[in-house]
Chains A and B, each alone.
Chain A
């Protein structure tokens, strides 16, 4: 498997771990119960092994003692009245005796060895059972045994058994052969049977442990499933409710705590649905009303407009009072018309009856046109309009009408609040987004004003004389226009330092904006005079 596949597997596992509470619970339970079972069965296995071995050893030692004492008795009783003894003959008898005593299970072998370093009149031949490997009796053991302190010594050994090795036990004791000195008797036990018993016990323990852990895992799985199942259903239902499927409910079963959760959840969903439906109905009625009113007003307004304009054209022939009245009528009808148009646009947005109709549009060109359109007003205010466009020289997929409306609104506001200082329009773009910023150096806004600046019918200063005939809906509509494109409008402002409104739009239709190519607050702590006067051709738009 290549490293990439490993990483994918690792990531998938990590994701599964994080996402599944059930998996986590089962895994943790299995992990800890494995540790517990391992400790318990390990302890059991060790103590059983010790007991088995100790018992076997005790038995072996008891046998060895009896064999040693029997041999000693035999030799002692075989001394003739003249004090002589036929050691070889007695030795023969002794071997038979020992063999009969050492009758514990398994093959028992023995060796009679003369303790080295003795000089006696007679020397008895050393003897042992056939096929014994005397090398298993270590010299350390022999030294211990030779000391003859009345005790028997034992040692665990390995016995060569064909191809394999069996565990064994050697027990040694001493006896005195009259005239021939001290001899050592070693009994060698093969304890394979003990090992076999132990193996069997351990195997049983292992299987038992595995079954136990498996059972615990399964039980945990079932229990968590039982407990998490309803929670999962609740989570899924809540998710769907949040996504707008207001009819979703949790099935209510039984009387337990889960059922209580389901019931209260459903009650909450019911009341939410009621409220939402009610609000939606209300809002529909209201939107419908606004839209109807706006539409119905249009025809009479057109008539009034036409009549007003006909009168206005002839005002020279009127008396001064009638002429002024006609002028007022004319301007106010204009204002009324703008308001109605904005209101209608807003109601269209509220009703969600707005569709984006995009076409490839050069934003810089569009802004140049918008600047041209507002130029007369700017001149009247003694305010200079500048365009700085390092980017944006490409065909963006936008609805030109809406973008123009946004730009004209921002420009109108900026000129209105410019206090005769220049207004700079920035256009820039990067690979994902294109941004337009309109910067003025006029009165600016404080924090409280900033908070409300996008609110409907809100004006920074109601008493301010306005030339663009604002309705107070301009920024609200601009925000909706930008959002329709998947973009956004944000603002920076400081009292006395002016404001900067920034529109950021995604380059591709359907995507959203994560960042803007233009910084906000704008990078002009620097004086206005240092700003580039004309637009800089953009190399960034290849």
Chain B
């Protein structure tokens, strides 16, 4: 099955060029030039992944990102012209899974897309527990008691990575490699922001996390199963 990718960028040339690159790699690109069109295309095309420019006329990328996240966990990769910390963090906080900074090269872009599209790593077990949560690995579902908790695929991967090795302390770099597929050290803010987002969904009290525990100076580990 060909993966459908929604490319959102107000610059026609770059949007078309990205389309050419994606087609060359065997994807099926759909292009939108502004935020409103992107939201519309999201409903009609039902893309498997969204490439989203942050600077858009009308509804900006951050807003589009937040809107999509309200209903869907579809992977979103931001395209940002600014390497500025604040923009990247705002994008990640509004729900983007990853980002690439313009100018990027096609290999880098394709690698990021493939990581986000790959099927979840085959797990040894079907059911895992982390804290008071139960992870149904095959069914891609997380439950606390009888309540199901809705996570984006990325958040699910992050939780799964921690739950699979409960005795292991993960550094941010290790998580970047396991979950984001970065071979070398990238931006550890990706981990920080997504751990925050994950905690907001799974922790009962975000002030005293007991599912995703912080190991000061090192990284994170899974909370003890209960």
Contact = CB atoms under 8 A, between A and B. Distances in A.
A20 B29 CA distance: 78
A401 B173 CA distance: 13
B106 A299 contact: no
B189 A310 contact: no
Interface stretch (A266-274, A355-363, A490-498): A355-363
Interface stretch (B18-26, B34-42, B59-67): B18-26
Given A310-B20, A360-B217, A302 B14 contact: yes
Nearest to B11: A299
Contact of B103 (A337, A353, A357): A337
Contacts of B107: 309
Contacts of B217: 360, 395
Contact of A344 (B18, B83, B106): B83
A299 B54 CA distance: 12
B160 to A, nearest CB: 24
Interface string A349-384: 000010101011000000001000100000000000
A313 B106 CA distance: 10
A302 B14 CA distance: 7
A218 B84 CA distance: 64
B112 to A, nearest CB: 14
A309 to B, nearest CB: 5
Contacts, number: 65
Interface residues of A, number: 30
Contacts of A359: 172, 188
Nearest to A333: B103
A310 B13 contact: no
B38 to A, nearest CB: 17
Interface string B73-94: 0000000011111000000000
Contacts of B226: none
A165 interface: no
Contacts of A309: 21, 105-107
A93 B84 CA distance: 128
Interface string B99-129: 0001111110000000000000000000000
A395 B83 CA distance: 26
B225 interface: no
Given A298-B102, A298-B103, A299-B102, A306 B18 contact: yes
A307 interface: yes
B83 to A, nearest CB: 7
A305 interface: yes
A306 B14 contact: yes
Nearest to B89: A357
Contacts of A307: 17
Given A369-B185, A395-B217, A299 B81 contact: yes
A348 B81 CA distance: 14
Interface in B184-209: 184-185, 187-189
Contacts of A305: 103-105
A196 interface: no
Interface string B122-155: 0000000000000000000000000000000000
Report the 7 A-B pairs with minimum CB-CB distance, sorted nearest first: A302-B103, A302-B102, A306-B17, A303-B14, A298-B81, A305-B103, A360-B217
20 contacts: A298-B102, A299-B14, A299-B81, A301-B102, A302-B17, A302-B103, A303-B11, A303-B14, A305-B103, A306-B14, A307-B17, A309-B21, A309-B106, A309-B107, A310-B17, A310-B106, A341-B83, A369-B184, A400-B185, A401-B187
Given A302-B104, A400-B185, 4 more contacts: A295-B81, A303-B11, A310-B17, A313-B106
